[in-house]
Chain A
Amino acid sequence: MINFGVREVAISTVPVAPGWAYVPDTGSAASASQPSARKRMRTLPSASQHETTAKQDAKIMRELAALDRENHRDVSIPVPIRHRDNAGRASHGKVTPAVRKILQSQKTFANHLADYEALSAINASQPAQPNPPPPLTSGRATPTTAGPQPPVGTKRSYKKRESAATAPTPLRNVSTVGESSTPVVSKSESSHDTSMTDAPNTLLGTAVPPASHPEDNNPLLISRVPQMPSQEEIEKMLAAPALSYNEARGSLTAEDRRKPAKHFCDVCGYWGRVRCGRCGGRVCALECLALHQEECFTRYGA
């Protein structure tokens, strides 16, 4: 169940043999998994028809975490200890305290990202704080937006301009190119599913955007040739600071969210057209269902 796990099936039913220990795949997620295996045996049959989405989400999260791993097992490969004489060693002179701290740090990327987010939160709550390290307060760059700028700290809201109904097409935006830079084509998800009504910052003069038309995307209806932005506008765009790590993450577009999820057979990988009544897993047909149920039985009980 956790990730790679066919083998793990044995664990809930067979006592662990001496000298053999199962090494969890994912740090925190896995540590909780073994105790919960027993609990699941009790609770699942009653809830068998519809595995809760929370459970399915948790399973997906575990699997994605496993797909992110460097090694299947947790390993530590220490830097080799050198001979005292330092023969052939590169010598870079005195180690400064800053360097020593960096070299000794065993922080992971996740640690650093958490630090950054915490610092950004502090920064956002104290917008007047002078002179922070470079891009800490940089939000999604909005250099060419003519309308009201979102306040520092809530810049992310810029990205939420997602009003599905009135998604402006690139073509409609052509007339204001340079003033407003964001022809939203297939728009993006932000951290929340807000469909915040677009502030009228892409429009000159009118507060109410024109109603959308199904043919808005049709290039034949273009009213004027797209204008190249001026060199000045380009310079402005190029001067924008980098997005943060999370801001640059690609979204799940509204269109993709509407598409029905594809399901695959857990056993052979073909389309998963059949649903296992016990665990909610998917299989293609009877042959794979039989195989699946053997395993499913061992894991969850009858």
Chain B
Amino acid sequence: MAPRRTKSSGPVPPSRTLVIDNGAYTMKAGFSSPTASSTASVIPNCMARDREKHVYVGSQLEKCRDFGDIVFRRPVEKGYLVNWEAEKEIWDHEFFEDKAPLHCDPRETGLLLTEAPNALPQLQTNCDQIVFEEFGFASYLRCPGPMLNAYNDIQAMFKAPARDAAQSLLPAEIILLIDSGYSHTTITPLLQGRPVQSAVRRLDVGGKLLTNHLTRLLSLRQYDMRNDTYLVNEIKEACCYVSRDFKADMEATWKGPKGDRREIYETGGGIAKDYVLPDYHKRTKGEVRDHDPDVAGKLKKMQSGKGPEVAEDIVTLRNERFTVPELLFSPQDIGMRQSGIAQLVLESLSEIPFGLWPGFLANIIVVGGNANIEGFLWRLQVEIQALAPTECIVRVVRPADPIVSTWNGGAELAKEVDLLSKMSVTKQEYDEFGAGWVARKFGGDPNWKW
């Protein structure tokens, strides 16, 4: 059933590929070709409206100076591209308009577009139709983002000798890829660059949930920040960490019984941090400081008498610093009926022949924004090691920049014109065989051989 296209009969592949890792929070986009590799632009994948009612599209957001009360519309929901009206607006602005930062003519450009694993067929078909019928890309590959990481130099991440650049590109043999982003965290075992679909698992905890949880805690305990999630996200990125010893850190941040304020609480116990909130006039960026127990007192004095220019709004973070990212390891803490990420790694492996476990456990790679949370990798390695068979070596690493790692892998793949065109669908094929055929090709139909 699968029409095979031989190299000689097909059209010449487009000279360059637009690689888009289309995340819910940011999209990573840029061009790749055998001769030139760009780096990824990280573009907010949203439309936003500030309190002056000014609307920003995608990269325009960098011009925003006042994030107070800002609201967002995101075309990618739960990790999946749902709203094409908004996404088209953003893509038009970034890629297709005359002054687009990454301008291209889709008719002479290939598209490599990521999707989250386990996407809904209807959304996939919508995507394929827009790509060909609206934009008219010359060729197109839609694939799960995690698998592209197999085209990065994995050996180098594990401090092994880098791969031989002279050899043609082969995907890594065996890796367990954890992608922890804005919407969720997915676990994808990859063999020879291909996902073991039956073993893919998802934890419904991502950066958005962590930010919203932090917002809730701060709003209950200190300031109402419910309309400042953009700011709370910055506080999260600046202050949150994954605890190495949750119970000990809880003790170090407790105020103590009534009338017996603990010294360690006052001084901060090495954990408490003060975050100076921006006022978007004099201060457009927040700032983290070690907790200063006198600051609260000082602040009152200043506000009552002295010049207002020294008054600062300060949020003090104590157990909020580590109870929030703890949700990645213990989602039950907020009542979710899911186990933590380490247990889900083992659940994923339980679908795989035991002989392959050592290979997966020794090659765990974490990408996505949450990989940057301090302490995350250490804790993940310790927890997986505790659950894994003792004779297995567990190694957990992250690439230098976990946010653009998927994109980098896509850019590597796009340099291999033959490989990419074998995996891709051309506009001509789409016109000839239709959307259902494309869906089958990208759906891993066993009759297809990449």
Contact = CB atoms under 8 A, between A and B. Distances in A.
Contacts of B332: 252, 256, 259, 261-262
B257 A104 contact: no
A202 B339 CA distance: 26
A188 interface: yes
Given A88-B98, A253-B339, A71 B71 contact: yes
A133 B121 contact: yes
A240 interface: yes
| Chain A contact surface mostly | loop
Interface in B98-146: 98-100, 106, 117-123, 125-126, 129-130, 133-136
B118 A68 contact: no
Nearest to B389: A219
Interface string A184-201: 111111000000000000
B213 to A, nearest CB: 6
B395 interface: no
B88 interface: yes
A188 B347 contact: yes
B283 interface: no
Contacts of A241: 197, 443-445
A104 B333 CA distance: 39
B61 interface: no
A106 B87 CA distance: 12
B334 A63 contact: yes
B120 A113 contact: yes
Interface stretch (B35-43, B202-210, B235-243): B202-210
A239 B446 contact: yes
A238 B191 contact: yes
B436 A133 contact: yes
| Chain B contact surface mostly | mixed
Contacts of A115: 122
B423 interface: no
B70 to A, nearest CB: 9
B226 to A, nearest CB: 4
B67 interface: no
Contact of A183 (B119, B257, B318, B350): B350
Interface stretch (B9-17, B77-85, B285-293, B374-382): B77-85
Nearest to B92: A90
Interface residues of B, number: 115
A174 B353 CA distance: 8
Interface stretch (A11-19, A29-37, A281-289): A281-289
A2 to B, nearest CB: 11
Interface stretch (B215-223, B269-277, B408-416): B215-223
Contact of A186 (B135, B336, B347, B444): B347
B196 A237 contact: yes
B82 A112 contact: yes
Most buried by A among B78, B351, B391: B351
Interface stretch (B163-171, B354-362, B399-407): B354-362
Given A4-B216, A177-B353, A248 B117 contact: yes
B136 A134 contact: no
A293 interface: no
A107 interface: yes
A103 B88 contact: yes
Interface in A243-279: 243-245, 247-253, 255-256, 259, 261-262, 264, 266-271
Given A134-B440, A238-B191, 18 more contacts: A64-B336, A66-B212, A72-B215, A72-B227, A109-B82, A116-B121, A134-B439, A177-B354, A188-B350, A237-B353, A242-B117, A242-B444, A248-B202, A249-B201, A250-B202, A256-B339, A267-B220, A285-B257
Interface of B: 47-49, 55, 57, 71-74, 77-78, 80, 82-86, 88-89, 92, 95-100, 106, 117-123, 125-126, 129-130, 133-136, 186-187, 191-192, 194-198, 200-204, 208-209, 212-213, 215-217, 219-221, 224, 226-227, 229, 250, 253-255, 257-258, 318-320, 323, 330, 332-340, 343-344, 346-347, 349-358, 387, 389-391, 436, 439-440, 443-446
